[in-house]
Amino acid sequence: MCVFQLRARPAATVPPPRWNQPGGERHTEVVTALRIGLAQVDLTVGAFAANSAMVSARVAEAAAAGAQLVVFPEMTLTGYMPEDLVLRRSFRAASRKALTDLAASLAAAGLGDIAVVVGYLDEHQGARNAAAFIQDGSVVARYFKYHLPTYGVFDEDRYFTPGSELTVVRFAGVDIGLTICEDIWQDGGPFTAARVAEVGLLLNINGSPYERNKDDIRLPLVRRRAIEAGAPVVYVNQVGGQDELVFDGDSFVVAADGALLGRAPQFVEKLYYVDIELPQATSDASPVVNDLTVRRTIAPLPARSSGAAVHEAEPLGIAGRISDEEEVWGALVAGTGDYIRKNGFSSVVLGMSGGIDSAVVAAIAADAIGGSRVYGVGMPSAYSSDHSKSDAAELAERIGAHYEVVEIEPIVRAFVESLKLTGLAEENVQARVRGTTLMGLSNQHGHLVLATGNKSELSVGYSTIYGDAVGGFAPIKDVPKSFVWKLAEWRNAEARRRGQLPPIPQNSISKPPSAELSPGQLDSDSLPDYELLDAILARYVDEDAGFADLVSEGFDPALVRRVVRMTDAAEWKRRQYPPGPKISLKAFGKDRRLPITNRWREAQDADEH
């Protein structure tokens, strides 16, 4: 949960450490080798029994792999993020009970010797985002998150009381500090205190949502924190989707000098393990650093690593970086698949128009849940081209989806003639009839309707409310149109690399985009070139640049005026659009919060303000 800047508590003045080797290595040759499991897992909010069962299964895998310590992500037992469920006393009580029940069940299953660090929701002088160190059937120690994020999608000050202690557990003779996600993104606090306390290892458990290229921001940051603390850092993040958020894993371990020791692949749910040699504890000091006190606890001696045969667990290698297109595709597939499964749907339905957006959404759905569970509907009107109909049918065949054609022209004509509609009103009836058709099929067969709009269209309001904007989930809601084409090209190239049939017809990629709501209509009739449009929107929507900023950067003033006015005027539409996976710095929804009733306009003259 952690991205960039936010207010931080002032850093303390740090006394000189009692070691001076590069990277903070202590003057000691007494070391302990620990095998540590990193549980990169998919969680479901509120599913206490399922989340606890998953922890037990992964701990059993870790035991089979000879691990002595297993680390799970932030808020493992509750799922992340639980939002206003935190305000319910019953939910907080269920979390605490799940923790004690988990500790007891692990011991009963013969897994009590394995130390387990797991995130959960506690209540101690307020609700707490907490980590527990479990061993031998009991909770040995607890840590409460120190830095609470209040930016972007995060409102943790709304829910939690910050901690005031750094919990250090002496385990197998090694002092291990517990930290939670945002603690690593802010200066001062736990990592400063860890160095003063001569901690030998830091664990950082995370619910860190995916954004494009965020994986390349995390590693340099954690390297700095390891050097700051003078100790290795184990960073564990969850995978999977939760409403608009997608978690990419990207768990890793860095040494005290910042060297990368291992890194898990993104979007892969698996237990990994790593062997680390760590210094034996030499200090019992419990310093106070700024407003944070070091609290020490001694855990029972663990069982030694047996080197037993590994079952599901894998040794942690160093996963290579992947392209932007592969990374985003992985996020969209994970977010879409989990939304479908976790909300109890077994199939999806969408309009297949033969265009690029519906083709990419259909391919994402097929990758997420299998083509046989995707139902495409062709809904041609009087203005639909022959190639649109054939491209849609070809797409369905390529991905193994069901496909049917519903002739909407008689329905549209009845509306138009009864209401005497012309122009834009007539165009929008076509989109609304399509939306009603999809919702009817959803009600009849239990499908989840997928909306196919992209971020560029949502930004400028180029969609029909209650028409193409209907649905339960919108897989490419946060993807700019210019990047939608790149995703299609990448997915087809990846299929060819694997010796498979490319899922997206080439004609859907190459033909000019059109809503086909009037004769010869093209998107370019109403919108600028998408590459240019997306460049303006990236600055205006994602980075909050103003009209003057955009003009100073060389964009045409008349074009900027037009784009920002369309964007400002479409806020009410965006509020009614389905949720979709966040992949950008600022997605519509929790990230970007603007009033609908709003007289401020970036593009107006200064004397109009």
**Of the listed 181, 455, 457, 573, which one is catalytic?**
181
Amino acid code (one letter) for 152: G
Contact present, 188 and 290 (Cβ < 8 Å): yes
Residues 112, 572: Cα–Cα separation, whole Å: 54
Q: DSSP letters of 435-459? A: HHHHHHHHHHH-PEEBP---HHHHH
- 240: its two tokens: 């999977």
**Of the listed 61, 74, 228, 244, which one is catalytic?**
74
How are strands ordered across the β-sheet holding 292-298?
260-263, 252-254, 233-237, 201-206, 174-180, 165-171, 292-298, 288-289
Q: DSSP secondary-structure letter at 131? A: E
**Of the listed 145, 270, 586, 590, which one is catalytic?**
145
Active-site residue 145, yes or no? Answer: yes
The residue among 408, 395, 465, 479 whose CA lies nearest residue 437 is 408
Question: How far apart, in Å, are the Cα atoms of 494 and each of 365, 393, 490?
Answer: 16, 22, 6
Active-site residue 74, yes or no? Answer: yes
Residues 383, 134: Cα–Cα separation, whole Å: 65
Residues 313, 451: Cα–Cα separation, whole Å: 38
Omega of the bond leading into 81 within 30 degrees of 0 (cis): yes
The residue among 314, 295, 279, 316 whose CA lies nearest residue 34 is 279
Catalytically annotated residues: 74, 145, 181
